[in-house]
Structure 1
Amino acid sequence: MMSMNCKIRLARPQDAEELLEIFRPYVLETAVAFNYEPPTLEEFRNTMEDRLRRYPYLVAETEEGLMGYAYASPFKARAAYDWAVETSIYVKQGHPGQGYGRLLHDRLEELLKSQNILSMYACIAYTDHEDTHLTNNSMHFHAHMGYELTAKFPKCGYKFDKWYDMIWMHKEIGSHDGPPSPVIPITALDTTLL
């Protein structure tokens, strides 16, 4: 069961090293991430700082350290896509089912709504035959969080001598009736309550 003193807060540049250690096994041991090699610490920190200029980048912190992180990225670079984001969530391996992913997701969604974001998308590795490198836990988690399957791209990723699919799932978190309100950068929100 999840520690009751888990705090969800905005990531800080000094968190990068610990977060990279959470991400590293997803790259080296699983097909969850399609990277073959983990990014360098500098690359990871630069990406984190870039995301924080506009979107939430959150960590789940306990007395044991950081248990996971979640962030939003641009869905696409063009202006018409401003109200849609791609989301990513990683929980420290060895701590599944303890609620960290849900806490991170719920707070991420809440902040994105405050920014006037209307749609959340998740790009997820998928397989018809689960193996030691990939289960479909991420797909099930997102379905539980209210996402719907949007698209499937068969056999588009090759890793560990096997072809894996990719699926996109989406969740609408705002109304698409009429013109949208401008997106508010995370830096313009009062996040002192985090």
Structure 2
Amino acid sequence: MTIRTATVDDVERLLEIYAYYVENTAITFECETPSVGDFGRRIQATLTSGYPYLVVEDEGSIQGYAYAGPFVGREAYRHSCELSIYLHHDARKRGYGRALYEALEQRLEAMGILNLYACIGDPIEEDEYLTRNSEHFHAHLGFQKVGTFHKCGRKFDRWYNMIWMEKFIGTHDEARG
């Protein structure tokens, strides 16, 4: 298993992984798969903003990706960021997610990030489009649920909640800039 920074050459494979979730799940509340160009611009925007965008490869094949971005986008939030992770739908339970998040955390901590946030689709009742697997995965990695937005997303003619989970990866001392 290798973890590395995403490149422009990875766009089609990353979009292939993401498209599955757009088209078949309520894990993302995005309802239409973005174009290759739009998706590439998203990746480039993350990389040029200085945040990490990582892929995990196994035997030369990309199995998933994770990235971080600003939380809210105002200066006072500079020690916080939002994370996203997507694994190929056949690549779960192999340690790829943990490996990606551990690598992401190391890079973010080096940037002075202290708070990690994950915005997660949450089923009112589990169904074929959304389970609580993402919540359980994040909890297993030390995230805690800090809030719920009720019936805020509608996909596949159903309402879904959204939760926020949080993890601290550094100390909040008064001397931080």
Same fold at TM > 0.5: yes
The residue aligned with 1:163 is: 159
Q: Give the total of aligned pairs.
A: 176
The partner residue of 2:176 within 162, 177, 180 is: 180
CA distance in 2, matches of 1:116, 1:64: 32
Task: Look up the equivalent residue of 1:100 and give its one-letter code.
Answer: Y
CA distance in 2, matches of 1:180, 1:157: 37
CA distance in 2, matches of 1:179, 1:26: 42
Unaligned runs of 5+ in 2: none
Q: CA deviation at 1:64?
A: 4.9
CA distance in 1, matches of 2:20, 2:26: 10
2:20 pairs with 1:22: no
The residue aligned with 1:49 is: 44
- Partner of 1:19, secondary structure, is helix
The residue aligned with 2:147 is: 151
CA distance in 1, matches of 2:151, 2:79: 29
Task: Look up the equivalent residue of 1:84 and give its one-letter code.
Answer: S
Task: Look up the equivalent residue of 1:101 and give its one-letter code.
Answer: G
The residue aligned with 2:29 is: 34
Q: CA RMSD in A?
A: 0.9
Q: CA deviation at 1:51?
A: 0.5
Task: Look up the equivalent residue of 1:86 and give its one-letter code.
Answer: E
Unaligned runs of 5+ in 1: 1-5, 182-194
- Partner of 1:146, secondary structure, is coil
Percent identity, please.
47
The partner residue of 2:86 within 87, 90, 100 is: 90
Task: Look up the equivalent residue of 1:23 and give its one-letter code.
Answer: Y
CA distance in 1, matches of 2:175, 2:34: 39
The residue aligned with 1:105 is: 101
The residue aligned with 1:186 is: none
Contact 2:124 2:159 in 1 (8 A): no
2:39 pairs with 1:61: no
TM-score between the two structures when normalised by the length of structure 1: 0.89
The residue aligned with 2:117 is: 121
Q: CA deviation at 1:179?
A: 3.5
CA distance in 1, matches of 2:175, 2:67: 26
Runs of 4+ with >6 A deviation: none
